[in-house]
Amino acid sequence: MAIHHHLLLLHLILMLSIIAIQTLAAYACIAVEREALLTFKADISDGIRHSLSSWDEAQDCCRWRGVVCDNTTTRNILELNLGNPFDWWTGYALSGEINPSLLALNHLSRLDLSNNNFSGIIPEFISSFYNLAHLNLSNSGFEGKIPCQLGNLSKLHSLDLSRSYFIGTVPPHLGNLSSLRYLSLNYAFNDINTTNADHLGWVSQLASLDYLDLGGLNLINIVDWLHIINKLQSIKVLLLSCTSLPSIPNSLSYVNFTGLTTLDLSDNGQFSTTLPHWLWNLTNLSYLNLADCQFQGKIPNALGNLTSLTYLSLRDNNLEGHLPRSIGKLCNLRGIDLSYLGIGGDIRELVEMLDCTWNNMEVIILSNNNLQGNLSNWLQQMTNLKYIDLSNNSLVGPVPLGISSLQNLNFLDLSSNSLYGVISEAHFANLSKLNQLLLSSNSLIISVGRSWNPPFQLTALALGSCRVGPQFPAWLRWQRQIKEVDLYNTSITSTLPHWLWSLPIRMLNLSYNSISGKLPPHLKSTNFFALDLRSNNLEGPLLPLPDGLEFLDLSNNFISGPLPKLLPTSIIYLLLSNNSISGSISSICERTNLWILDLATNHLSGELPRCWLKGSFLLKMALSNNNITGEIPLSMGSLISLQYLDLNSNNLYGELPSELQHCKNLLFLDLGNNNFSRKIPTWIGEKLLNLRYLQLRSNMFDGNIPPQLAQLTFLQVLDLSDNKLSGSIPRSFGNFTGMTIYSVQNDDDDSFSWGFGTDIVTYIGSLVLVMKGNTYTYSKLLGQVTTMDLSGNNLSGVIPEEIGALRHLRNLNFAGNHLVGMIPEKIGDMLSLESLDLSSNKLSGAIPQSLSKLTFLDYLNLSYNNLSGRIPSGSQLDRLDDPSIYIGNAYLCGRPTSKNCSGDTASPNNTSNYANGSETSMWWLYLGMGVGFVAGFWGVYAVLLFHTTWRCAYFRMIDNFFDNIYVTVAVRMNRMKNKYG
């Protein structure tokens, strides 16, 4: 009996198993669609995320990641969701080409391939998925033209092609998508400088559209954009940021899109008009972003009509006056951005204007204004704050302890103020949600215990110029999500802890400390993207670098040894100046991704690399102060992107290769202190038309100065001193616009920056110049320097009057030549001149009184010339009372020399005018001399010619005169002969 029961139970289990298998088989995915997915996977690289690891042939494909099947018995695949959350640091997931096998998924209603890296154009077969309702190809690497066939997807509800690399224009066929509710073309095109739409009429055909994002498209030709949008009654979200819109109408006869809840017109910085009136009719708006649109005038009281607003940004406009009191009516406001508006006054008064909302505020951005006051008695009351940015103001006082009550705080930026006092552990006691802490450029002292374990996990920390040291902050070891650390100039004097290199930091700035020790041996295995350790006391060799490293600055340390043989292919910035790095750089030219290369002031030797390629992106190369020898290789002419070339103070020689003329983007060329010879090439002036700084000093260039250099109209610095140049100074040198008109160039025009909060990465070129008798290194202020130095050559001729046109020139040095003639009167027109050196020439005549007009002149050297007359006086010249200024001019008199002028018959002005007289006065002088000679000659000659008696008496007198002289000389000679026999 028992055996019978067991057999019956076994039979029942077997029957149930068969039923279960049949049921699972019925609900398994369709074989054809499964094979299509496997074929698709075969052509795809899975990347480091292994997104398709679950696509196992032994499993039901309806259970694979991203695959959604119909829950009915059909089991057709309805959705393919292979999008990935974008991560800047880890990169993309899927890459490769999309196989047309996907056409087997003919029931597909949703296709999401976003945030991948597929190559080529959008496959045309996608337009055959007639059941598609949602298509997301954003940030997927697609390029080429947007296929017109997408207009055939009549059931499409949402289309996202944003962040792509398309060319051409938006196809008007998208207007056929009558069911479309969501359309995003945000930054969908590769070239924003080319118009991306011929017209927008097709948009008005999308009657069901409630979300439209055209941000980042070039719509500069679309004048009627607002009238087109006004036809969309259903539109709720309109995003048109950074679209180069040509204008914005101030009014509309009828506002049709009053249901709008989100409007973003930011970064259209050319409106230059008042805030449009139709804005105040959009009473359903909850999000309004008008940042950087160049709006002008006052903010009207009508702003108070927008009572539904939860976020408002007026950042970076030219709005005048104060905020209207009506802003207090915006009781739903949770976020506000009023940065870069120049708002002044006490910050507490500004915040209290928000009236009913300030205790509920979640986002406050008031950076880059002129706000004063302190943080006490108001900040700690805003308990809902998540994000606050008060950077770049004039706030003073301590950071209140009450800040610890802001338990929701995620982002805190108080950098670049005048805050002082101690920041302790108590300030952070309840800030468990804090994600970014930026306090740089204050006078704060960070005082926490070495065993402190913070309640938060930061992703970004910036404490630059606060006092953190002398020890490295030990609490950082617990920050397991930290990506960016900026601790520049924080008084750290210790070595770097070993645990630092195991943190997930991507950007690290420890510059301008006194950190000692060596780089870690496992540096290559770290994940650094940017590493700035400049101006410390690090020593030892430069070890192999991380594969993903793009920025490295180890300048101003004691790094020694050769460069690593294999630099990362990712490296863009390589800054190693002022170390003791030795060896050659023969392979550096193979790194075509380099933008900035600075190896100045090391012990490098050998020749310059010869393998430069046309595909190089190199912008700046600084190799000055090394022992590099040889000639400039011809291949350097391939560096067509090069803007900055500094080879100063090496042992380079030979003629400048004509191939360099292909480097037409050069702004800065410094070849000084080498052994270059031959003539200065004319192509410098004919081809390198963007040059601002040209230094060829201390070489062996000879011949004349090519007048073609005057074609360099942007030139601010011209230094040809200490060569063997001869001939005259070209008169065309008065044509340098860069020395004539005040330069609008910013000091940082020649800089490259990268970072967060404060600039974590900054590279600025430098130039060593001799001015005012001393040597100066210009870096940040280089954009303001204007100088012409032709000293120490064999130049002859006169100083051309045309030089006087250089009204923005600050330094003029023609010393140590063979210049003759007088100092031009027009030199007094050079009103910006601070330094003038004309010493050791052969200049003559009087010093022009016009020098007294040079109110900025604080260095003058006219010594060792042949100048004469009274030294002119004037308010500025009287301050230059050093007699050595005029030494070596024997015929100068007056203060500050000890030689008094005899008589006061002529004023300095008269003497100067005579010496430097105009052509008219000199002409009258020569005319008077001529008339006098003619009158005297004919007064004597006519009498002798027509009066015989007088003529005979005159010649008899002459004969007797010479006879008497002859007799006298003969008698005396005879006496001497007899005496000395």
pLDDT tens sequence across 94-119: 888 899 999 999 999 999 999 988 87
Find out whether 29 and 77 touch, Cβ atoms under 8 Å.
yes
Query: Above 90 in pLDDT, residue 709?
Result: yes
pLDDT for 965 beyond 80: no
Q: What is the pLDDT of residue 784?
A: 86
Question: What pLDDT shows up at residue 710?
Answer: 94
Task: Name the phi and psi angles at 687, rounded to 5.
Answer: -115, -35
Mean pLDDT over 933-962 rounds to 45
Closest CA to 815 of 778, 785, 860, 856: 860
Min mean pLDDT across 81-90, 768-777, 841-850 is at 81-90
- Strands 77-81, 67-69: pairing is antiparallel
Query: Is 941 a residue whose pLDDT tops 50?
Result: no
When pLDDT is averaged across residues 627-655 and rounded to a whole number, the result is 95
Q: Which of 115-124, 282-291, 359-368 has the least mean pLDDT?
A: 115-124
Question: First-to-last CA distance in the chain?
Answer: 179
Quickly list DSSP for 351-383: HHTTGGGTTT--EEE--SSEEES-STTTGGG-T
Average pLDDT in the 323-351 region? Answer: 90
pLDDT at 949 over 50: no
Summarize pLDDT for 388-445 with one digit per residue, the tens: 999 999 999 999 999 999 999 999 999 999 999 999 999 999 999 999 999 999 999 9
Tell me the mean pLDDT in the region 279-302.
Answer: 94
Q: What is the pLDDT of residue 747?
A: 40
Packing angle between helix 919-946 and helix 948-980, nearest 10 degrees?
100
Average pLDDT, the chain: 86
Q: pTM higher than 0.85, yes or no?
A: no
Residue 755 scores a pLDDT above 80: no
Give the model's pLDDT for residue 905. 37
How far, in Å, CA of 871 to CA of 894, rounded? 6
Pairwise CA distance, residues 83 & 85, whole Å: 7
- Is the predicted pLDDT of residue 20 greater than 50, yes or no? no
Q: What is the pLDDT of residues 718-748, one digit of tens each?
A: 999 999 999 999 999 999 999 998 754 544 4
Cβ-contact 607, 627 below 8 angstroms: no
Round to whole Å and give the CA distance between 586 and 870.
61
pLDDT of residue 381: 87
Q: Residue 468 pLDDT more than 70?
A: yes
How much is the pLDDT for 13?
A: 52
pLDDT(9) > 80: no
Q: Which is higher by pLDDT, 569 or 119?
A: 569
Q: Is the pLDDT of residue 814 over 90?
A: yes
Q: What is the mean pLDDT of residues 574-588?
A: 92
The pLDDT value recorded for residue 325 is 87
Model confidence at 604: pLDDT above 70: yes
**Across 34-38, 55-59, 206-210, 229-233, least confident range:** 55-59
> Side chain identity at 625, as an amino acid letter?
N
pLDDT 10s digits, 292-309 = 999 999 999 999 999 999
Q: How confident is the model at residue 49 (pLDDT cuts 50, 70, 90)?
A: low
Cα distance between residue 272 and residue 168, in whole Å: 29
